[in-house]
């Protein structure tokens, strides 16, 4: 599933109180999707990390009953939150596949039986979980068969550039980074599991590059820091693209005279120009931007209009957009 589809699946699971297991490579947004879905459905979120938990975290601690020759299990921490939940609450078991078998078994009783050691989980609680795959070198030993079957479904998340661009624009990622990922989409997720202490590109590490740029990372530190975040190959290509981006013709002059502005042949320049124009698109200049768009190769026309709308949804209510959409009705935006 793409990220947008996965978020809808999570919302469905929340609404119908069905346990759901998400799987996929590290750093592609599984936890973020659950967080967004909970926020958009006004659902409380409790995140648990079974890999660093003990079975007693999900079973309670044995405690002697005063004056009697017996003991009971006392809930604490997250387990107590599950028992006392008075409104819709997602209990999210992150990185479940890394957890020891004993911890998985304790969680299993909560997911299906919804009670453990005499304690009943609130009807308001929905169980969700996420895991990497065994081939991801993420210390995943697997998930116990009875635990897997406790989930209504197991769905795998795939990386999609359009979904990431939409997220990146909503989170104010630098325009040149978004344009670069459009230019080199394979570098959004070039995950290479390795025992070496290096990172490779994935949505999480690419976002880390964007946050460094947002924070104003000094120019003399950029290559090494970008390489440390997303790998040397990513850093080298991105730094080269940034030079192309900085050398673009004046975007304001291009918008002012769209019929005279040069349309480059070089793909990197086209991606850079589309990125810069989409970030500046508004109701006042959209007429001229569309006029320039009509001079671009077909695939770049679609790209520019799509990303302009992601930056500014109000553009869909303009006559320029309506006219363009009618003329290109065979294109799905």
> Angle CA(309)–CA(312)–CA(317) in degrees, nearest 5?
75
> Angle CA(24)–CA(97)–CA(114) in degrees, nearest 5?
110
Write down the pLDDT at residue 270. Answer: 94
42's CB contacts (< 8 A; 6+ apart) are: 88
Write down the pLDDT at residue 55. Answer: 77
Six-digit token pair at 109?
Answer: 């009783």
Six-digit token pair at 92?
Answer: 């999210």
Task: Give the single-character DSSP code of 331.
Answer: S
Six-digit token pair at 79?
Answer: 């387990």
Write down the pLDDT at residue 195. Answer: 76
Tokens 């759901």 locate to 20
The stretches of 94-149 forming alpha helices (DSSP H) are 101-112, 145-148
Taking the chain (333 residues) in runs of 10, the rounded mean pLDDT of each run is 95 95 93 95 93 75 70 72 90 90 82 76 92 80 84 94 94 95 94 83 96 96 96 96 91 93 91 94 95 93 93 93 84 56
173's CB contacts (< 8 A; 6+ apart) are: 207, 210, 214
Q: Alpha carbon of 176 to those of 44, 68, 215, 246, 270: distances in Å? A: 36, 69, 15, 9, 12
Q: Which CATH superfamily includes the segment(s) 3-156? A: P-loop containing nucleotide triphosphate hydrolases (3.40.50.300)
Query: Quick one: the chain helix, strand, coil %, rounded to 5?
Result: 55, 10, 35
- Taking the C-alpha atoms of residue 269 and residue 224, their distance in angstroms, rounded to an integer, is 25
Nearest CA to 173 among 225, 199, 208? 208
Six-digit token pair at 168?
Answer: 């990146």
- Taking the C-alpha atoms of residue 97 and residue 129, their distance in angstroms, rounded to an integer, is 9
Write down the pLDDT at residue 293. Answer: 94
Look up the pTM and report it: 0.82
Query: Domain segments of the chain: what residues?
Result: 3-156, 161-327
DSSP SS3 for 167: helix
Nearest CA to 124 among 132, 134, 114, 136? 114
Pairing of strands 20-23, 119-120: unpaired
Nearest CA to 244 among 267, 223, 272, 214? 272
Start-to-end C-alpha separation, the chain: 19
Six-digit token pair at 247?
Answer: 């050398």
> Angle CA(50)–CA(54)–CA(58) in degrees, nearest 5?
75
């Amino acid at each position: 599933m793409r990220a947008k589809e996965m978020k809808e699946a999570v919302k469905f699971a929340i609404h119908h109180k069905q346990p759901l297991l998400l799987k996929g490579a590290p750093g592609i947004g599984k936890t973020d999707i659950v967080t967004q879905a909970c926020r958009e459905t006004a659902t409380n979120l409790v995140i648990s990390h079974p890999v660093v938990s003990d079975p007693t975290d999900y079973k309670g601690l044995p405690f002697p009953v005063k004056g009697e020759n017996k003991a009971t299990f006392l809930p604490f921490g997250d387990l107590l939150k599950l028992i006392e939940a008075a409104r819709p609450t997602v209990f999210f078991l992150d990185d479940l596949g890394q957890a020891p078998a004993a911890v998985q078994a304790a969680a299993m009783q909560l997911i299906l039986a919804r009670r453990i050691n005499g304690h009943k989980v609130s009807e308001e609680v929905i169980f969700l979980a996420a895991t990497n795959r065994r081939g991801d070198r993420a210390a995943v030993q697997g998930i116990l068969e009875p635990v897997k079957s406790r989930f209504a479904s197991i769905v795998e998340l795939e990386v999609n550039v359009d979904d990431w661009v939409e997220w990146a624009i909503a989170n104010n990622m630098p325009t040149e980074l978004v344009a670069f990922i459009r230019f080199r989409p394979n570098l959004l997720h070039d995950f290479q599991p390795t025992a070496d202490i290096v990172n490779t590109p994935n949505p999480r590490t690419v976002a880390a590059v964007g946050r460094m740029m947002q924070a104003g990372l000094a120019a003399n530190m950029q290559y090494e820091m970008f390489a440390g975040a997303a790998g040397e190959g990513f850093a080298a290509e991105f730094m080269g693209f940034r030079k192309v981006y900085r050398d673009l013709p004046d975007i304001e002059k291009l918008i002012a005279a769209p019929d005279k502005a040069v349309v480059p042949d070089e793909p990197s320049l086209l991606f850079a120009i589309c990125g810069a124009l989409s970030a500046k698109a508004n109701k006042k200049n959209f007429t001229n931007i569309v006029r320039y768009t009509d001079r671009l190769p077909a695939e770049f026309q679609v790209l520019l209009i799509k990303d302009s709308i992601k930056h500014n949804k109000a553009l869909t209510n303009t006559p320029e957009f309506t006219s363009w959409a009618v003329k290109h009705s065979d294109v799905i935006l």
